[in-house]
Every structure is written in structure tokens, then in C-alpha cells.
Amino acid sequence: MLSSLTIQLFLICLFAAFCKIFISWTQRKRYPPGPTPIPFIGNALDLRTGASWLKYIEWQKKYGDIVHFTVFGVHIVVLNSMEVAHDLFEKRSQIYSSRPQVPTVNRLAGTIILKATYDYDVEPKNDLFYLPEWLPGMGFQAKYRRCVTLTREIKIAPISLVKTRLQATGKISHSVASDLLGNMNPDGNVDEEEDAIKGVSGADTTVSAVTTGILAMTLYPETLKRAQREIDAVIGRERLPDFNDRDALPYVEAFTREILRWRPILALLPHATSEDDVYEGYYIPKGTMVLANAWAILHDEKIYDAPEDFMPERYLNSDGSINDDYPSLAFGLGRRICPGRSFADAEIWIAIVSIMAVFDVTKAKDDNGSDIHVTADYSIGSISHPLPFKCHIQPRSEVAPRLIQDTGN
């Protein structure tokens, strides 16, 4: 039989152990809420398929505007509301302005982290290339490689040209790429900064936005008609619009803004923390990848009525003038905001207004004369593009072909 003293000692020890566990539990680092991780791989399995920003919206409904998860030990925090994104990327920009480094762990871990942060799907192309090219049907590999090289050259050539001139003369004529290269931080990671310039400033982003505009014209014909009525009334059909007309065309302005909101080209804005931080009692360690979910914020029902609909009117006052709501988040926020945003906005506007002025864009017809269905699907990737769709584009008038030809000359 145990003596009562032994029992008392045992109970005291038990109580002390309980207190210790309780204290360390209350003092533990509390990450923001998020899905339960599996040991070692974290939440890697949750992100295998589909657009990751949509998964993050699902998690937002369950866990709130700030969600934490891990992938192979890497901390990832997603910001799903403007308030939280503004608090961290703008107000604490000194901590939240690094770019995430994808750790060189193994291929699988790296692939999933890229998918989580940039929605970048690493193609299993290396596996494909194990098949020898002399096998029947494998000749496409050489063509594929040529395509990859050409695409890379198209992206890199303008930057390389600017760089060569800059190195040779120390001076170059004005261009956006040269401004950016000239302003590069000499203490920063030069390769990384150059990559950012090539990647985000490439024609990719603006082409994607203009294609989205054509898609919207096809799917929402009444918006194109209204814009064309405005252009005809202000400019007529004898000349192409130019930047001097911009203020007089509020509906076209609203249409351009809606393109940026409706299908944000970068759905996720990947930043990283350079120091440990605590936000609303949540611990966010140094090196965390912090993603502002631009898609979720630009489709937030609390801010935008019927966010899935393409509605340029949301940017108009009741008297038809343009309001102050610009979807600037499409260009990021904080210190890393897109330095090419004014240039890009102008490029998109002039392309869209010119297309509207000279072309009618409608759904294409099949052999039976029925409209061909447009799915409006988008590629999943760091820069999102509309997938190829069919539409019918024809000049609006007899003068239109001449105007287009004059532009070419």
C-alpha cells in the first residue's frame, strides 16, 4: 500500500507537470489559423491541383482573412482581405518586402512551393525527354526546344540590348527597361532583380490584359456597344483615338479598370518577411512567404457587387463620370508595387480603345450558324492568360481598314 505522503508527493508532481505544460502551451508561438498539416510534408497534398488562389479562398471561409500553412517546413501565410494586406505590405513594408526564395530542397518540395506561391506548375518535361528523339513521333522534342529558346529570346532580347548599351556607353536613350535597369539596387541580388524585370515587365502581362479585354467584349457585347457609342460621339469614325481623348471617354476608362479587376493577371502577390513579426497576436517568422491573394480581394463581395460579372459601370458615378475607385491592387502594393504600372495602364487603354474604335467583336458561329460557346478559362501560372477562345472580329466601317493601315505605317 502506498503511504498518503507518497500519494501527496505524486499529486504535487503531477500538478507541477500540468502547470509546466499549460504555461508552455499558453506561451507557444501562435501562428495564424490554417489547415492541419501532415508531419514533414505539411499541407503539400492540399495544393496538388487547381488554382491555388481558389483553394486559399476556401480556407479563408474556414479560417479567416489570414491563413497559415506549411509545405515541407516552409511557412506560408495568405492574406485574403485588403485590410490585412494593407496592414502588412504597406504599413509594415520594411518587414514584408522581400521576394520569396524557393529553397533548394528536393524537386517535389520545390515544385509544390512554387505552386503554392506563384501557382507555377513545373512541367514534368524532363521525364518526357527521357524518350530518345529517334523514336517515331518524338521529333517534336527538337521543335519544342526551339520554341522554348525563341520564347526566351523574345523575353530577354530587349533587356539584353538595353544592358549592352548601358555597359558600352554608360548612357542610353529613355525606355522603361533602361530606367529599371539603371535604378537597380547595386547591393541587391542583381540576377534576381533582372529576373523580376524580365518576368513581370515582359509583354506577357499587357498581352494578357488586352486578351482579357477582347474576351470581355465577346462575352459582354453590351459593354462593347456602349463603349463604341461613347467613342463615336466623342471622336467620330474618321480617326483613331489618342491619349488626348482619354478624359473624355469615361466608359472606356471604366472598361479598362474592370479588365484589371475581373481577371487579375497576377492572382497572388508573393512577398517574404525579412524579420520575425507578430500581427494581431499571431507569430509570423522571418523567411515566411506571405501571399496577398489579389484575386480574393478584387472579388470580395463586401467591396464589389456581383464580383464575377464584368461590369465597367462599377467605376462610374451616377452622372456617368469616372469615380476614384481604381483596382490598384492588380499592380501590387507596398514597396514592391509594379514600377511599370502607369506605362502598362496606358498601353492597355490605347490598345483597348483602338480595338473598340475600329472593330466589332462578337461570338464566332459554327457551321449551323449557332454561337460557339466561350468558356473563359484561364491558364494557371504566375501570369494568368485567357486560354485560346474563338471570336469573330471584323472592321466596323469602310474607313476602319485605312485607319488600321495608317497606324501600321
Site residues (CB under 6 A) for ligand HEM? 176, 180, 196-197, 200-201, 205-206, 209, 265-266, 269, 271, 330-334, 336-340, 343-344, 348
Cβ proximity to ligand HEM, 109 vs 269, nearer residue: 269
CB of 341 to ligand HEM, least distance (A): 6
CB 331, CB 338: distance < 8 Å: yes
Cβ proximity to ligand HEM, 178 vs 228, nearer residue: 178
CB of 59 to ligand HEM, least distance (A): 21
Q: Residue 257 is which amino acid?
A: R
CB 223, CB 216: distance < 8 Å: yes
CB of 273 to ligand HEM, least distance (A): 14
Pairing of strands 289-293, 268-272: antiparallel
Cβ proximity to ligand HEM, 46 vs 345, nearer residue: 345
In degrees, rounded to 5, the angle at the alpha carbon of residue 269 between the alpha carbons of residues 284 and 161 is 130
Count the neighbouring beta carbons within 10 Å of the beta carbon of residue 107: 10
Phi first, then psi, for residue 61 (nearest 5°) are: -65, -30
Rounded distance, CA 223 to CA 189, Å?
Answer: 45
Residue 88 gets which letter from DSSP? Answer: I
CB of 153 to ligand HEM, least distance (A): 18
Cβ proximity to ligand HEM, 76 vs 266, nearer residue: 266
Rounded distance, CA 340 to CA 330, Å?
Answer: 12
Cβ proximity to ligand HEM, 205 vs 228, nearer residue: 205
CB 259, CB 386: distance < 8 Å: no
CB of 253 to ligand HEM, least distance (A): 15
CB of 195 to ligand HEM, least distance (A): 9
Cβ proximity to ligand HEM, 94 vs 321, nearer residue: 94
In degrees, rounded to 5, the angle at the alpha carbon of residue 64 between the alpha carbons of residues 61 and 67 is 105
Nearest Cα neighbor of 392 from 369, 360, 356 is 360
Cβ proximity to ligand HEM, 279 vs 343, nearer residue: 343
Cβ proximity to ligand HEM, 206 vs 293, nearer residue: 206
Cβ proximity to ligand HEM, 250 vs 334, nearer residue: 334
CB of 146 to ligand HEM, least distance (A): 27
CB 262, CB 310: distance < 8 Å: yes
CB of 197 to ligand HEM, least distance (A): 4
What is residue 48's three-state secondary structure?
coil
Extended strands (E) in 59-113: 66-71, 74-79
Cβ proximity to ligand HEM, 156 vs 364, nearer residue: 156
CB of 270 to ligand HEM, least distance (A): 7
What is residue 252's three-state secondary structure?
helix
CB of 124 to ligand HEM, least distance (A): 28
**DSSP string of 274-338?**
SS-EEETTEEE-TT-EEEEEHHHHHT-TTTSSSTTS--GGGGB-TTS-B-S---GGGG--GGG--
Cβ proximity to ligand HEM, 211 vs 362, nearer residue: 211
**Cα Rg of the chain, angstroms:** 27
Pairing of strands 277-279, 282-284: antiparallel
Going by C-beta distance under 8 Å and a sequence separation of 6 or more, which residues neighbour residue 275? 95, 286
Q: Any alpha helices (H) in 170-220, and if so which ranges?
A: 176-182, 190-201, 203-219
CB of 70 to ligand HEM, least distance (A): 22
